[in-house]
Amino acid sequence: MDLYEYQGKQYFARFGIPTSPGGVADTVDEAVEQAEAAGYPVVVKAQVKVGGRGKAGGVKLAANADEVRLHAGNILGLDIKGHVVKRLWVEHASDIAKEYYASFTLDRPAKLHLGMLSAEGGVEIEEVAQTNPDAIARIHIDPVAGLGEEAAREWVDRANLDAEARGQAATLLVRLYHCYVEGDCDLAEINPLILTPEGKVHALDAKVTLDENASFRHPEWEEYADDSDVDPREKMAKEKGLNYIGLSGTVGIIANGAGLAMSTLDVVTQVGGEAANFLDIGGGANADVMAAALEVINADPAVKSILVNIFGGITRVDEVANGIIEAIGRVKLSSPIVMRLDGTNAVEGRALLATHLSDTLMAEPTMLEAARHAVALAQA
């Protein structure tokens, strides 16, 4: 889960990482209020979950209330790479002597945490990596050993930060590492990390991605839940604990196992149809899961037919059949279902379903035939 800059900065603050004082604003008037509170000059910043806001006109300095009004008015509603700005962050502007880059992320192949630090910040790190790779000092951190002040200091020296920034930067990086590890981040990035003419080091930007697998131990993450950009179908599926991805077609898909679900999409496409979704119900295809899956698909007005493709392995087809029968009793469907049931106990499963078949619940012996039938119904 990505955080907005202002949330990232609030997250940083918990771990003692210095940022500039500021506040959020959803209107021009609020922006002026926040500016008065932070003290002029201020910087007015678009809050969107995408980088390169500066270049897109989403970050502007303002010396007084009139300039805040002007910039806040222009930035609110601005479209930055498909993200419309609805909220601003207004903070006291910093004087910048130097811009650095710092981040922690996971190096999966190395099975270690990776810190990246560069004296050439402010620009996109991908650009630095391409044009001047030696300008990025890397450090691999054993998660058991952690990052101590001494190692941080050696890293800062290696990155060639300005002499007066080194001590503060090392301290800040140790804190950023704590934020990254204890805060369960996938990414904790500061670009730019600045040195001011007065010799202070602090974070001017914050890019934080939280590892949602750790949300069970972070009840406080609740406040970051942000549905504004989420597909309502995916939101509903998530609430029901389903592995669902919304697509733009008309054939709803239910399959067990991600591989089979993907193959089902392929077969639907192959016979001239378009899938409305990817949905893997996993191993436990009981009535609850099946009913939840049917509810989510049924709620999508674009769906014209539903293809249920189950291959029983450990999951037994007769159990799946019972699940489908019970689920159909619970959910009032607006589209017909075509099933393909095969694998363990397929004969028993099909026998169970035989008496329930109708023009809204149909069965086909193979995946290809089931796909053809579902696509024909969707296009009828």
Question: Shortest distance, CB of residue 193 to Mn ion, whole angstroms?
Answer: 10
Q: Does 71 bind ligand GDP (CB under 6 A)?
A: no
CB of 208 closer than 8 Å to CB of 7: yes
Count of other CB atoms within 10 angstroms of residue 277: 28
Q: Does 19 bind Mn ion (CB under 5 A)?
A: no
Q: How far apart are CA 177 and CA 169, in angstroms?
A: 12
Among 189, 205, 295, 300, binds Mn ion (CB under 5 A): 205
CA distances from 227 to 5, 80, 220 (A): 17, 18, 17
Among 25, 31, 59, 324, binds ligand GDP (CB under 6 A): 59
Among 165, 204, 242, 371, binds ligand GDP (CB under 6 A): 204
Nearest to 304 by CA among 375, 367, 236, 234: 375
Q: Does 189 bind Mn ion (CB under 5 A)?
A: no
Q: What SS3 class is residue 216?
A: helix
Q: Does 52 bind ligand GDP (CB under 6 A)?
A: yes
Site stretch for ligand GDP (CB under 6 A), options 49-57, 107-115, 213-221, 306-314: 49-57
- Judged by phi (left if over 0) then psi (alpha if -120 to 50, else beta), residue 345 lies in left
| Residue 101 known to be catalytic | yes
Among 43, 116, 190, 292, binds ligand GDP (CB under 6 A): 43
Site stretch for ligand GDP (CB under 6 A), options 88-96, 150-158, 218-226, 340-348: 88-96
Return the bridge partners of 305, or none.
251
Q: How far apart are CA 255 and CA 263, in angstroms?
A: 9
Q: Would you give the binding string for ligand GDP spanning residues 237-256, x where CB under 6 A is met?
A: --------------------
Q: How far apart are CA 71 and CA 112, in angstroms?
A: 43
Strands 207-210 and 185-195: antiparallel
In the complex with Mn ion, the residue whose CB is nearer, 11 or 244, is 11
Would you report the helix, strand and coil content of the chain in percent, each value rounded to 5?
40, 25, 35
Q: Which of 4, 100, 101, 180 is catalytic?
A: 101
Binding-site partner at residue 167 among Mn ion, ligand GDP, none, CB < 5 to 8 Å by type: none
Q: What is the CA radius of gyration of the chain?
A: 27
Question: Shortest distance, CB of residue 191 to Mn ion, whole angstroms?
Answer: 4
Among 18, 23, 51, 167, binds ligand GDP (CB under 6 A): 51
Count of other CB atoms within 10 angstroms of residue 326: 15
Q: Which of 189, 295, 319, 364 is catalytic?
A: 189
Active site residues: 101, 189
Binding site for ligand GDP (CB under 6 A): 43, 45, 51-54, 59, 93-94, 96, 99, 122, 191-192, 204-205
